[in-house]
A and B are shown apart, each in its own frame.
Chain A
Amino acid sequence: MDAPNHSHRELLLRSRIFAGLDAAEAEALAESGRVVRFATDAPLVKHGDPAQALYVLLKGTCDVFGRGSDRTDVLLATAKAGEVLGEMALVTRGARAATVIAAEPVVAWALPAEVFEELVQTGDVRGLHLLRAIGRDLCSRFRESVVDSATLQDELRRRGLAGVSRWGAV
């Protein structure tokens, strides 16, 4: 694990999670994390594990898998540079709900869970910024997932395979 260098900082500043921070706040937040590397097929996040960190992908892509009730993993999405991964379990303080695998060599910025907690619990401006950025990200994903889920549930109902679904936020 390394401190982010100039090139990493430039990549971080282009990510959505750093958007809107002034230079000093962005620098302070970047320094709160570390740069980590993953080989192809290495897991960044494993379903059921406790949350250790959130990641911002700096280079490479990752496949995100959800787990069905039959314990098989289903590909949900492919994450690209600039995207945030692993933030959900940090927010919920729960176990990882997905598995994320490096689809190629990956460089990521990792913010440890304990640093995230401290920034949030103290109301630090970086913590508030992270929460707002994570919120925007979750909203975007939620809107897409609701459409996917509703479309699939309708297809299941059309085939006589499902009842009323349980949704969530609007």
Chain B
Amino acid sequence: MIRASLLQGLPALDGLDHDHVERLAAHMSLVKAAEGQILIHEGRRSPGAFVALDGPLLVEKSLSSGPSQGLLPAGEWFGMVSLLDGLPASATVRARSAVNVAAIGRADFWALIRPGEPFGARLLRAVLESLALQLQRVDAAVVEARGTLELV
């Protein structure tokens, strides 16, 4: 378990009240990642879901044209796409510098999501909220990039 105070106020947990954050913290562990350490491997199923307590983290995506890089801000979930759809991770996540990460394993996460249990539904919603916001950001980048390319 980790201290709930590490999680309080993070964007990743918007919608969870103090008690729910404490309950989640009891199921999470703290990972101290060294600079350059890979937390998620592209092409492998994510072992769970993670919240970056420091950041940003480096995200690397393989494309036919070569590797592409992006940044993931602190305070958000990552690893959740592979957690939710069960497919291999879509990109590699690497610590850009020494960082602390809160982690919950795949089985532990899904054990918390039970019918009739508001905590599980709110946790799942918090993860989806983070995913939706990140998708909105990526879609906005697509719109911007297409606009820029049309202008030149």
Which of B2-10, B25-33, B135-143 makes up part of the contact surface? B135-143
Give A75-110 interface residues, CB cut-off 8 Å to B.
Answer: 76, 88, 91-93, 97-98
Interface size of A by CB at 8 A reads 55
B residues neighboring A (CB under 8 Å): 15, 40, 42, 46, 59, 61, 63, 65-66, 68-73, 76-82, 84-85, 87, 89-93, 113-122, 124-125, 127-149, 152
Contact status B59-A153, CB under 8 Å:
no
Is A161 in contact with chain B by the CB < 8 A criterion? yes
Query: Interface SS of chain A: helix, strand, loop or mixed?
Result: helix
CB-nearest residue of chain A relative to B59?
A167
Contact status B137-A146, CB under 8 Å:
no
Interface centre among B65, B69, B121 (most CB of A within 10 A): B121
Q: List 11 A-B contacts (CB under 8 A).
A: A88-B136, A121-B122, A128-B121, A135-B131, A136-B84, A139-B84, A143-B90, A164-B70, A166-B137, A168-B135, A169-B130
- How far, in whole Å, are A45 and B69 apart by their CA atoms in the complex? 33
